[in-house]
Structure 1
Amino acid sequence: MTTRPRSKRGGALDQLAAEGVGLWLDDYHRGWLTDGSLESLVADGLVGGVVSRPAAVAHAMSGTTAYRDQLNRLSNAAASAEERVYALIAEDARAACTALEPVFRATEGMHGWVSLAIAPRLAADAKAIVDHSRQLAAMVDRPNVLIRIPVVGRGLAAAGDLLAHRVSVHVTSVFSVQRYAHAVDTYFRGLERATADGHAASAVTSLVSLDIDHLNARVDALLDGSADPCAAALRGQAGVATARLVYRRYEESLGCSRWRSLVAGGARPQRLLWTSENARESSRTALDRVEQLIAWMTLHALPRAALEALDHSEGFHGDTLSGEHGSACRVMDALGRAGIVVDSLARDLEAAAVERERAAWDELLTVVQAS
């Protein structure tokens, strides 16, 4: 069995490692490479993966000179703004993949991955998603790169095609158990297609990320307007309840005959990544989320400040998701009595998540055009 490397620091970090929880850097950009920060975080065993977000890249381009030389070269080549964006994030990902390669090798591909996005405007066109994703993966040309695909529109269909073509995917914008189940089925079908074509199941992997903070915010807003006398007591519970039900579904997926056949061929489990798309989230809020969502083989993506705060945290109290199916169902039942069905909110939350991604991508395009 391979788990993430033990942290050299101790305390809360060792407690998370003992629970099988991995940590990722969520605001990765080239500045973390040029100043040696990423290398240090990896060497210390604190970070086992990174997420490259357009908003973080745009911020770094405006505040540092890390991208200046490449931007000048791309400008001289008369590349379009989107072509320049892809070239920039591919270079970032290639360097991060190299920095994380020792982790990737030591854990036999369970850790050491780098996730990067494609243009959100492609969400409704499966062929375009597949074409852009394959081109971007080829530009990075590393075995430990994941292409981030939103669950909306034709995202899941494209994810299945990519997995069949041996491109690893990170499925995002999932807010319900039902949509998570669809992502699991997509992973299984993608692996089955790949192995049917003679490819090793170990050649690809997948993540699914859930943002419980935006789910809580939407549900809490509805509870604030509810006449149900129990509404106030339910505030802040929808996200954790959903996470517990999703984790139960994850455990069930690893016990089915379909998965047993795939894992016999070397398939890796589809990992759950807990994250937040709230750019202004405080470190305290991020650490509270970590404490609420602890379970074996899961991942947390945290910004640099939260990782540093975690390094000085007193610690946690162990697994908070396993065996909590009953309590989660009671929360969902109570929400239903208050007129709130989480699954029915998921599509609106998915669409809002893609709009946030679109806004961040457009901001990055604007910064690149002005550089």
Structure 2
Amino acid sequence: MTTQPRSKRSGALEQLAAEGVGLWLDDYHRGRLTDGSLDRLVADGLVGGVVSRPAAVARAMSDTTAYRDQLNRLSNAVASAEERVYALIAEDARAACTALEPVFRATEGMHGWVSLGIAPRLTADADAMLDHSRQLAEMVDRPNVLIRIPATGRGLAAAGELLAHRVGVHVTSVFSVQRYAQAVDTYFRGLERATADGHAAAAVTSLVSLDIGHLDTGVDTLLDGSVDPSAAALRGQAGLATARLVYRRYEESLGCSHWRSLVADGARPQRLLWTSENAPESPRAALDRIERLIAWMTLHALPQGALDALDRSRGFHGDTLSGEHGSACRVMDALERAGIVVDSLARDLEAAAAERERAAWDRLLTMIQAG
């Protein structure tokens, strides 16, 4: 990733760079383009990727005039509200891909990506997810675009097909080690199919995002209702323990013979992105998340306010995930004794994440229909 001159970087930014942690902009919308803030963040080496979310687009439509001209043009076109949403986010993505292209080229595709999602109504149908994802990627028509797909059974089936056809995939809504392991297997299989068809492994890219804040909230709610005397002491620990186990699984995946054969063909690691699906996440909550989740080759998606606060921060305590497998297992064992199995709760959290995404998308559709 491009780097900012050392004299201009805060202690926190220097430390994160030394720990191999990359930063993304999480509340990206067209206003970040018109006011020049995305270009500044990229030029200063602060961000190496962006996430475009319907909630951020809806807020920008309410608070700025950034979308007015395109909306006026689309109002005269024969297109559904959903098609107009796709037109908006595709244009946003093209501009962001262009802004990040220098990073993408300089890092040979390790950084410089733009993530955007499809309509949540499609998640019950793997074929529909596949078709719409490919169409959206074709609309954007840039090499550094990723399509967000939820880590459900149907979602992972669609993700595998997309990867096999060299469409970059951002797997979301992972709340357990089990789901993460399935996402890793999906990536490996997609790579194998792509290379078997004669494509370069380096042309296949994926990342996986985890939201430990909602995991903590879900577990803590159950702990509050537990009669186990040790339950109170376990509050706020499930998310970090899961992150540590996921990172251990990430390290194991890069050490297995299966991966070694893929990387010999030029494959890139499937990166881990820590994020929050709160809209918007407060700067303080985002900085607290970073404090808990620091490890080599991981990514954090942050809102603009958190990036500004991070630039003023003095620093963190270093790697929090590596070598913590034992402590994480002890937390999980204690949670099971209290009657809480994170892998079981994860399915409820997946459904809740899908509902949040549907609500954000529906708000955007309603705003477009209202003109």
**TM-score, structure 1 normalization:** 0.98
Residue 42 (str. 1) matches residue 30 (str. 2): no
Equivalent residue number for residue 148 of structure 2:
148
For residue 79 of structure 1, report the CA deviation from its aligned partner.
Answer: 1.1
CA distance in structure 2 between the partners assigned to 1:366 and 1:43 by the alignment: 36
Equivalent residue number for residue 113 of structure 2:
113
Distance 1:68 1:280, change over 3 A: closer
Letter in 2 for 1:357: E
Equivalent residue number for residue 186 of structure 1:
186
Are the counterparts in 1 of residues 10 and 312 from structure 2 also a CA contact under 8 Å? no
Among all aligned residue pairs of Structure 1 and Structure 2, give the percentage whose two residues are the same amino acid: 86
Residue 286 (str. 1) matches residue 286 (str. 2): yes
Per mean C-alpha deviation after superposition, the further-off stretch among 57-66 and 172-181 is 57-66
Counterpart of 1:5 (choices 2, 7, 10) is: 2
Are the counterparts in 2 of residues 97 and 142 from structure 1 also a CA contact under 8 Å? yes
Look up the SS of the partner of 2:255 in the other structure.
coil
Residues 123-142 of structure 1 mapped to structure 2, 5 A cutoff = 123-142=123-142
Equivalent residue number for residue 80 of structure 1:
80
Per mean C-alpha deviation after superposition, the further-off stretch among 84-93 and 275-284 is 275-284
Are the counterparts in 2 of residues 152 and 351 from structure 1 also a CA contact under 8 Å? no
For residue 137 of structure 1, report the CA deviation from its aligned partner.
Answer: 0.4
For residue 68 of structure 1, report the CA deviation from its aligned partner.
Answer: 1.0
Look up the SS of the partner of 1:5 in the other structure.
coil
For residue 5 of structure 1, report the CA deviation from its aligned partner.
Answer: 2.9
Letter in 2 for 1:21: V
Q: Which runs of 5+ in 1 are unaligned?
A: none
Are the counterparts in 2 of residues 19 and 295 from structure 1 also a CA contact under 8 Å? yes
CA distance in structure 2 between the partners assigned to 1:221 and 1:10 by the alignment: 37
Equivalent residue number for residue 204 of structure 1:
204
CA distance in structure 2 between the partners assigned to 1:6 and 1:298 by the alignment: 17
CA distance in structure 1 between the partners assigned to 2:335 and 2:41 by the alignment: 41
Equivalent residue number for residue 225 of structure 1:
225
CA distance in structure 2 between the partners assigned to 1:338 and 1:34 by the alignment: 51
For residue 153 of structure 1, report the CA deviation from its aligned partner.
Answer: 4.6
Letter in 2 for 1:197: D
Look up the SS of the partner of 2:152 in the other structure.
coil
Are the counterparts in 2 of residues 123 and 153 from structure 1 also a CA contact under 8 Å? no
Partner deviation per Cα, 1:46-68 (whole Å, 9 max, x = no partner): 11100000000011011111111
Are the counterparts in 2 of residues 30 and 92 from structure 1 also a CA contact under 8 Å? yes
Per mean C-alpha deviation after superposition, the further-off stretch among 5-14 and 48-57 is 5-14
Per mean C-alpha deviation after superposition, the further-off stretch among 4-13 and 271-280 is 4-13
Partner deviation per Cα, 1:10-42 (whole Å, 9 max, x = no partner): 310111011000000000000000010000000
Equivalent residue number for residue 177 of structure 1:
177
CA distance in structure 1 between the partners assigned to 2:142 and 2:248 by the alignment: 33
Per mean C-alpha deviation after superposition, the further-off stretch among 5-14 and 282-291 is 5-14
For residue 280 of structure 1, report the CA deviation from its aligned partner.
Answer: 4.6
CA distance in structure 1 between the partners assigned to 2:317 and 2:225 by the alignment: 34
CA distance in structure 2 between the partners assigned to 1:166 and 1:149 by the alignment: 15
Equivalent residue number for residue 315 of structure 2:
315
Letter in 2 for 1:138: E
Are the counterparts in 2 of residues 7 and 17 from structure 1 also a CA contact under 8 Å? no
Task: State the aligned residue count.
Answer: 368
CA distance in structure 1 between the partners assigned to 2:70 and 2:79 by the alignment: 12
CA distance in structure 2 between the partners assigned to 1:42 and 1:35 by the alignment: 14
Letter in 2 for 1:159: A
Equivalent residue number for residue 22 of structure 2:
22
Are the counterparts in 2 of residues 113 and 145 from structure 1 also a CA contact under 8 Å? yes
Letter in 2 for 1:266: G
CA distance in structure 1 between the partners assigned to 2:280 and 2:138 by the alignment: 33
Are the counterparts in 1 of residues 58 and 367 from structure 2 also a CA contact under 8 Å? yes
Letter in 1 for 2:160: G
Partner deviation per Cα, 1:294-350 (whole Å, 9 max, x = no partner): 000000001111111111111011110000000000000111111111011011100
CA distance in structure 2 between the partners assigned to 1:78 and 1:62 by the alignment: 24
CA distance in structure 1 between the partners assigned to 2:173 and 2:269 by the alignment: 19
Letter in 2 for 1:111: H
Are the counterparts in 2 of residues 27 and 302 from structure 1 also a CA contact under 8 Å? yes
Partner deviation per Cα, 1:164-198 (whole Å, 9 max, x = no partner): 01100000000000000000000000010000000
Per mean C-alpha deviation after superposition, the further-off stretch among 261-270 and 242-251 is 261-270
Letter in 1 for 2:323: G
Per mean C-alpha deviation after superposition, the further-off stretch among 219-228 and 184-193 is 219-228
Structure 1 stretches of at least 4 aligned residues deviating more than 3 Å after TM superposition: none
Letter in 2 for 1:244: R
Equivalent residue number for residue 366 of structure 1:
366
For residue 283 of structure 1, report the CA deviation from its aligned partner.
Answer: 1.3
Partner deviation per Cα, 1:220-265 (whole Å, 9 max, x = no partner): 0111111111111110000000000000000000011111111111
CA distance in structure 1 between the partners assigned to 2:282 and 2:29 by the alignment: 19
CA distance in structure 1 between the partners assigned to 2:154 and 2:230 by the alignment: 38
* Backbone CA RMSD of aligned residues: 0.9
Equivalent residue number for residue 266 of structure 1:
266
CA distance in structure 1 between the partners assigned to 2:204 and 2:280 by the alignment: 33
Look up the SS of the partner of 2:166 in the other structure.
coil
Letter in 1 for 2:24: W
Equivalent residue number for residue 158 of structure 1:
158
Are the counterparts in 2 of residues 7 and 13 from structure 1 also a CA contact under 8 Å? no
CA distance in structure 2 between the partners assigned to 1:279 and 1:85 by the alignment: 19
CA distance in structure 2 between the partners assigned to 1:280 and 1:187 by the alignment: 30
Letter in 2 for 1:14: E
Equivalent residue number for residue 243 of structure 1:
243
For residue 293 of structure 1, report the CA deviation from its aligned partner.
Answer: 0.3
